[in-house]
Structure 1
Amino acid sequence: FGGSLGEVTAEKIVKVQELALRNRVPIIGINDSGGARIQEGVVALAGYADIFYRNVRSSGVIPQLSVIAGPCTGGAVYSPAITDFIFIVAGQGYMFITGPEVIKVVTGEAVSFDELGGGQVHNATSGVAHFLPKTEQECAAAVRKLLSYLPSSNNERPPFVPTTDDLERADPELQTIVPESPNKPYDMREVVSRVLDSREFFEVQPFFAPNIVVGLGRLGGHVVGIVGNQPKVLAGAIDINASVKAARFIRFCDAFGIPIISFVDVPGYLPGRDQEHGGIIRHGAKLLYAYAEATVPKLTVITRKDYGGAYCVMSPKQMGADLNLAWPTAEIAVMGPEAAVNIIYKRDLVAAPDPVARRKALVAEPDQARIGSRPAALFA
């Protein structure tokens, strides 16, 4: 039947879902389905509704993982979408509500399986999926790795693993990874991995919204969730996709008792018509809400820039962070020095014989460049 869902199949799945929820253990769905079995009519649709209902009841109570091991269409994609994490096997798994054949008939558009709902599309473009393993074996290993960080339910603590990593170890390279110049990029994942036990960082959704980094690791043997701006991409600015990605991850960590560490280097929200029309105000507020709502321990490390409205969003102490730390290069300000000079010294710049040279000079002056900011180095 091509993996299609009928009445009895749905009943079996529902029994497993109820068993997992009752015993408070994670559930893994391996999906390769053509959707509802049309020969059975509406009872197949009712079966999907039963499954979706239990997905929602289990959300935030037990971890739910989905593996997309083959083409999944129609109703077969909704259950995975409700679960916490989705793995799509590259070149093998596909997800779409309407298949290429139907699209060709209805719209006349010719589109391949990969273009419509392949693993790369859902990992990098739509953000539906979280992981893109190359093989089924690699997928199984990734699922096991992820589960090693998660509790069986929200009634348990995340698994503690004793570490041989010296808690007092120093890493001299941390002093040079973050450039003093606010405009030079660096890889926030380098900072994160050097802080965590054994430098192990399990990144989630690495291909989607790469301007923000999220993932899991351990600190002193305890599981922690990581959220970090990525200066290598869009200078670490927060856009719609980054807001949605980070907010969802934070709420997951909060549901399962995983403390959150935020590494902040953000110039603000990404400006532009596309962002405004796409709803950056609405989606950006999701990140703010997620941080404020979270009741797990929250630590914030400001590595460099923390400007504008993004300061309010990226877990400052005023938003309930339990501990805020600042790198010597950290700088908190209403806006960047260039923008501040343009506003505060507008008349001076208009009257200057050479406005460009005058602007550069003002920005270069330490006192002027830091108007309204609080450089951490001054308090060291």
Structure 2
Amino acid sequence: MADPTALRPPALARLDEMNRRALDGGGTARIAKQHEAGKLSARERIDLLLDPGSFVEIDRFVVHRCADFGMDEQKVLGDGVVTGWGLVDGRKVVVFAQDFTVIDGSLSGAYASKICKVMDLAMKVGAPVVGLNDSGGARIQEGVESLAGYADIFLRNTLASGVVPQISAILGPCAGGAVYSPAITDLILMTERTSYMFVNGPDVIRTVTSEDVTKEDLGGAATHAARSGVCHLTAPDDRAALAQVRELLSFLPSNNTEAPPRHAAVDPVDREVPELDTMVHAEGPYDVRQLVRAVVDDGRFLEIHARFAQNIVVGLARIGGAPIGVIANQPQVLAGCLDIKASIKAARFVRFCDCFNVPLVTLVDVPGFLPGLDQEYGGIIAHGAKLLYAFAEATVPKITVITRKAYGGAYDVMASKHIRADYNLAFPTAEIALMGAEGAVNIVYGREIQQAADPAAARARFVEDYKTKFVNPYKAAELGFIDEVIYPCMLRIRLAQALDLLRDKRDKNPPKKHGNIPL
């Protein structure tokens, strides 16, 4: 029987051959090596990210322009990055996937141009950008052209910021100048043990500072998730990371002109949560994540930055099928105090949600800002102001619930009525005051206590009197700073009602080029 390919017109046969070469990337041996390292190929990753059969590739036949150092003999179709668009849950997404099998995924001028083209396309059509990073860095043979390529990408990351969601999955190496593109994007995911990010690698650090460190300890997923805060989510492998990207996109609009996508809700919005009536009490910590899961749809809470600054919890969830961003003090860690890292973490998340029209639900249990020389010398004044600025600037629906402590300046900062929160609730256990009763009594009644026949009894009496008068939600409610003191079991119902009311909220900031947030 005749070979059917022999009957194809030459033009089609040539296209067949070019497609085959482009799809092979760096070849079967390099792809096998990628698999041995616990990583998928660029095309396998795209197939997992996008809905089946939806990927449309562009610039498949682009090659680099370098003729020096024998590079004219190392031209591979596609040049080490796969670019195009497709669908995630039926919605348009633009994607680029760096291909480590082709010259270690190193970035050339042509490679950068491919990425810039799809990013420009994303801005034109209002679609999210997902970058799958696995690259050895700049292509040294191209010198400044490679550096220019990085800067071209950085510019587009900056211009797209707040316009379309940008998500970076670090699925292999990402070092040197290459780290700054993911750093500008909205969310960074890293795979455990197969990815790393750093500006200067272990060899450079050893040479300059004589410090010994491994790649994993310097820039692995665990380091950036828990210590630096660069990484928002980690995953055990490529498959899990790409599933996380799909879930993240499900909470976000395609661009800043759209509302987040609503899902059909099975969990009734009029469901009471009786366990909340006893979860929060006057003394002792509780896990605020349990409170969040009890209230949101189906108990599903996608926590962001879970291992960094654990004294504050942030993440995405739904109520009545509508996405919300949750910010919550965590009493189990540092008693829920705000510190430098918590302020930075929460401020970043608040601004992210505000960019993409995700309503904010803030759960407050904060005794104040963390005392300490390291905090003062580290700039807690400026860093705490970032969170204050972020909440005040945000124009999305803002709902605040004070569950227990809301003391001093931290009360103001945590989405109080005074910085444009729309609906402020309190549990009966709420303590809204300048400070705790014990500290206040020492200042207000110090002389009376010293002169009393029984100082301990006098102090206890003054403490109880202060708590009755001031350390409760009712003075704030009397002044209109709290809209309603609710039974905790009613929280889900009230949140659903408020979100429905505020769905068409209109608010805006004064005309300006941009504000000067205390960076």
TM-score range, shorter chain: over 0.9
Matched, 1:309 2:309: no
Q: Which residue is 1:133 aligned to?
A: 235
Matched, 1:11 2:116: no
Matched, 1:271 2:366: no
Opposite residue 288 of structure 1, the aligned amino acid is: L
Matches within 5 A, 1:42-57: 42-57=144-159
Q: Which residue is 1:81 aligned to?
A: 183
Task: Tell me, yes or no, if the aligned pair for 2:426 and 2:473 is still in contact at 8 Å.
Answer: no
Alignment counterpart, residue 234 of structure 1, candidates 334, 358, 383: 334
Query: Residue deviations 1:168-188, cap 9 Å, x none?
Result: 11121111111232xx10011
Matched, 1:123 2:221: no
TM-score by length of 1: 0.95
Matched, 1:348 2:452: no
Q: Which residue is 1:223 aligned to?
A: 323
Determine the C-alpha separation between the residues in 2 that align with 1:3 and 1:26: 23
Task: Tell me, yes or no, if the aligned pair for 2:427 and 2:473 is still in contact at 8 Å.
Answer: no
Q: Which runs of 5+ in 2 are unaligned?
A: 1-102, 479-484, 486-519
- Relative to structure 1, the CA distance from residue 376 to residue 201 in structure 2 (aligned partners, 3 Å threshold; closer, same or farther) is farther
Task: Tell me, yes or no, if the aligned pair for 1:338 and 1:369 is still in contact at 8 Å.
Answer: no
Following superposition, the deviation at residue 34 of structure 1 comes to: 2.3
Alignment counterpart, residue 283 of structure 1, candidates 380, 383, 387: 383
Following superposition, the deviation at residue 370 of structure 1 comes to: 4.7
Q: Which residue is 2:466 aligned to?
A: 368
- Relative to structure 1, the CA distance from residue 376 to residue 194 in structure 2 (aligned partners, 3 Å threshold; closer, same or farther) is farther
Query: Residue deviations 1:267-302, cap 9 Å, x none?
Result: 011111000011000010011101110011110111
Alignment counterpart, residue 103 of structure 1, candidates 193, 199, 205: 205
Q: Which residue is 1:20 aligned to?
A: 122
Query: Residue deviations 1:315-340, cap 9 Å, x none?
Result: 11111011111111112101011111
What secondary structure, in the 3-state scheme, does the structure 1 residue paired with 2:167 have? Answer: strand
Q: Which residue is 1:177 aligned to?
A: 279
- Relative to structure 1, the CA distance from residue 296 to residue 352 in structure 2 (aligned partners, 3 Å threshold; closer, same or farther) is same
Q: Which runs of 5+ in 1 are unaligned?
A: none
What secondary structure, in the 3-state scheme, does the structure 2 residue paired with 1:2 have? Answer: helix
What secondary structure, in the 3-state scheme, does the structure 2 residue paired with 1:15 have? Answer: helix
Task: Tell me, yes or no, if the aligned pair for 1:337 and 1:371 is still in contact at 8 Å.
Answer: no
Alignment counterpart, residue 62 of structure 1, candidates 160, 164, 167: 164
Opposite residue 145 of structure 1, the aligned amino acid is: E
Following superposition, the deviation at residue 352 of structure 1 comes to: 4.8
Determine the C-alpha separation between the residues in 1 that align with 2:455 and 2:133: 62
Following superposition, the deviation at residue 306 of structure 1 comes to: 0.6
What secondary structure, in the 3-state scheme, does the structure 2 residue paired with 1:33 have? Answer: coil
Opposite residue 97 of structure 1, the aligned amino acid is: V
Query: Residue deviations 1:67-102, cap 9 Å, x none?
Result: 111121101110000000000101111010001011
Alignment counterpart, residue 205 of structure 1, candidates 265, 288, 305: 305
Opposite residue 416 of structure 2, the aligned amino acid is: P
Task: Tell me, yes or no, if the aligned pair for 2:317 and 2:324 is still in contact at 8 Å.
Answer: yes
TM-score by length of 2: 0.70
Determine the C-alpha separation between the residues in 1 that align with 2:131 and 2:457: 62
Task: Tell me, yes or no, if the aligned pair for 2:132 and 2:169 is still in contact at 8 Å.
Answer: yes
Query: Residue deviations 1:226-282, cap 9 Å, x none?
Result: 111110111101001111111111111111111101011110111110000110000
Query: Residue deviations 1:319-374, cap 9 Å, x none?
Result: 101111111111210101111111112213333567566545543x2x22355434
Opposite residue 295 of structure 1, the aligned amino acid is: T
Opposite residue 53 of structure 1, the aligned amino acid is: L
- Relative to structure 1, the CA distance from residue 170 to residue 372 in structure 2 (aligned partners, 3 Å threshold; closer, same or farther) is closer
Opposite residue 37 of structure 1, the aligned amino acid is: R
Following superposition, the deviation at residue 304 of structure 1 comes to: 0.7
Determine the C-alpha separation between the residues in 2 that align with 1:220 and 1:82: 32
Opposite residue 338 of structure 2, the aligned amino acid is: I
Opposite residue 285 of structure 1, the aligned amino acid is: A
Following superposition, the deviation at residue 124 of structure 1 comes to: 0.7
Opposite residue 466 of structure 2, the aligned amino acid is: Q
Following superposition, the deviation at residue 375 of structure 1 comes to: 3.1
What secondary structure, in the 3-state scheme, does the structure 2 residue paired with 1:132 have? Answer: strand
Determine the C-alpha separation between the residues in 2 that align with 1:51 and 1:229: 36
Task: Tell me, yes or no, if the aligned pair for 1:67 and 1:86 is still in contact at 8 Å.
Answer: yes
Matches within 5 A, 1:286-301: 286-301=386-401
What secondary structure, in the 3-state scheme, does the structure 1 residue paired with 2:357 have? Answer: coil
- Relative to structure 1, the CA distance from residue 165 to residue 307 in structure 2 (aligned partners, 3 Å threshold; closer, same or farther) is same
Matched, 1:247 2:327: no
- Relative to structure 1, the CA distance from residue 89 to residue 355 in structure 2 (aligned partners, 3 Å threshold; closer, same or farther) is farther
What secondary structure, in the 3-state scheme, does the structure 2 residue paired with 1:214 have? Answer: strand
Determine the C-alpha separation between the residues in 1 that align with 2:412 and 2:168: 34
Larger radius of gyration: 2
Following superposition, the deviation at residue 152 of structure 1 comes to: 0.7
Q: Percent identity?
A: 56
Count of residue pairs the alignment pairs up: 376
Determine the C-alpha separation between the residues in 2 that align with 1:309 and 1:334: 8
Determine the C-alpha separation between the residues in 2 that align with 1:353 and 1:374: 29
Determine the C-alpha separation between the residues in 1 that align with 2:132 and 2:461: 61
Q: Which residue is 1:36 aligned to?
A: 138
